[in-house]
Amino acid sequence: MTTDFDQEIERRNTQSVKFDALQAVFGSEDVLPMWVADTDFAAPQAVTEALIDRARHPLYGYSLFPESLFQAVIDWFAQRHSWQIEREWIVLAPGVVPSLHAVAMAFAEEGEGIIVQPPVYPPFFSAASKTGRRLVANPLVRRDGEYQMDLEHLDRCASDARILALCSPHNPVGRVWRAEELEAVLAIARRHSLVILSDDIHCDLTFAGHPHTMLANLASEEDQIITAVAPSKTFNIAGMGLSALVVPNPVHRRALKQVFDAVHMEPTNPFSITAFEAAYRQGEQWLDELLIYLWGNVQLVDRYLREHIPQIRMDRPEGTYLLWLDCTRLGMSDAELKAFFIREARVGMNPGASFGEQGNGYMRLNIGTRRAVVQEALERIARAVKRLKSAR
């Protein structure tokens, strides 16, 4: 590898949510931060160098999006995902979460249904609740040792909804949906004229044997697919706040732009533009090495849980750097579970309950960090579980 992912970089006192919000979120500074979904790895050197070069120009005023940025998106997805994007399809936005809300407002009236598939990333819920739309839950189910979509239930839900918010790859369960699963979703959407917002923000972070399928690659011209993508998770530049919506339908593009205009949602920033383009143009080798390193972390957690903490189970993820830990064997309520990991294990994770009631008894562990930190977190949890077992 040319990148040292074991490099220790101090993130405290850098206005990092992950590190500098520990007291506010966990009530303690003395926890290992393994929660919010960014990583502790330095961004690709090309991104840093591009930002330094831009900073040397001492004017940071209102900025335009260069055509080279749009071409960077087109080239990346053509080369990495065999997806041919047209220039006019791209609508730039200040992040995927604002895009979720914009799609809700553009394609569903107040009171109309938005389908989500819990346990799922919490903003999927708020995109409905905070815009006055109606949340329709189509929970994932566990079959044959993996999470799957309940397609029969989805078909029923779709009869009374306008939008399906699809998380692909899925956060937090780590599934990379297979092409046949996505084909079935498309068939349902066609029957019910559903708009699908496919959040593909983790599409570059999939492991060997689990290639990501862009839903839009399976779609016909009549399908109503809006795809959210960004280099933010891929290259650890989430703080830059720039993403893209790929919207083939011109009517859909106009509807989204009207929402953006209504709230004056301007995503331009000279530094986010620079980082976005540099990452897509020069970050591929860095990403390939990152995936190897992350898989090593997955293997470490999987092996350690089986050998030392069998009370906690995990499905090996097919994608993302987020692990979904089944802690139900610990026999705790969600409040007890959260307190246990904070006070006894001193590891800060996302409670599964925040991803919907289907996450009760689970915790989400972010392994996008140095292997030594992952090892330390596991050892802390093991000691805490051992004390708990002794106390009982």
Q: What's the CA gap between 377 and 379, in Å, rounded?
A: 5
Predicted local confidence at residue 263, as pLDDT? 87
Q: Are residues 193 and 311 in the same domain?
A: no
Whether 214 and 77 have beta carbons less than 8 Å apart is answered as yes
Domain contains 2: no
Alpha helices in the chain (DSSP H): 17-20, 22-26, 45-56, 67-81, 96-107, 123-129, 151-158, 179-192, 215-218, 232-235, 250-262, 270-282, 284-308, 334-339, 371-391
Q: Are residues 294 and 336 in the same domain?
A: yes
Would you state the structure tokens that stand for residue 335, as one six-digit string? 């409040």
Would you state the structure tokens that stand for residue 123, as one six-digit string? 């903003």
- CATH code, 383: 3.90.1150.10
Which amino acid, 72?
Answer: A
Q: Are residues 88 and 202 in the same domain?
A: yes
Output DSSP code: residue 135.
E
Give the residue from 251, 282, 313 where a domain finishes.
Answer: 282
Predicted local confidence at residue 65, as pLDDT? 96
Predicted local confidence at residue 391, as pLDDT? 83
Q: Of 50, 3, 15, 38, whose CA–CA distance to 275 is shortest?
A: 50
Q: Are residues 90 and 230 in the same domain?
A: yes
Domain contains 108: yes
pLDDT in tens, 250-294: 999 999 999 999 988 887 899 999 999 999 999 999 999 999 999
Query: What percent of the chain is predicted at pLDDT more than 90?
Result: 97
- CATH code, 265: 3.40.640.10
Q: Are residues 147 and 219 in the same domain?
A: yes
Range of the domain at 242: 47-282
Whether 174 and 318 have beta carbons less than 8 Å apart is answered as yes
> Counting beta carbons within 10 angstroms of the beta carbon of residue 223, is it exposed (0 to 12), middle (13 to 18) or buried (19 or more)?
middle
Q: Are residues 110 and 194 in the same domain?
A: yes
Q: Are residues 317 and 232 in the same domain?
A: no
Give the residue from 249, 282, 315 where a domain finishes.
Answer: 282
Q: Are residues 299 and 185 in the same domain?
A: no
Flag residues of the chain having pLDDT under 50. Answer: none
Q: Are residues 252 and 140 in the same domain?
A: yes
Q: Are residues 100 and 152 in the same domain?
A: yes
Give the residue from 259, 282, 305 where a domain finishes.
Answer: 282
Predicted local confidence at residue 208, as pLDDT? 97
- The DSSP bridge partners found for residue 324 are 364
Which amino acid, 196?
Answer: I
Q: What's the CA gap between 171 and 41, in Å, rounded?
A: 20
Domain contains 196: yes
Predicted local confidence at residue 13, as pLDDT? 96
Total count of domains within the chain: 2
Q: Are residues 188 and 94 in the same domain?
A: yes
Q: What's the CA gap between 150 and 263, in Å, rounded?
A: 36
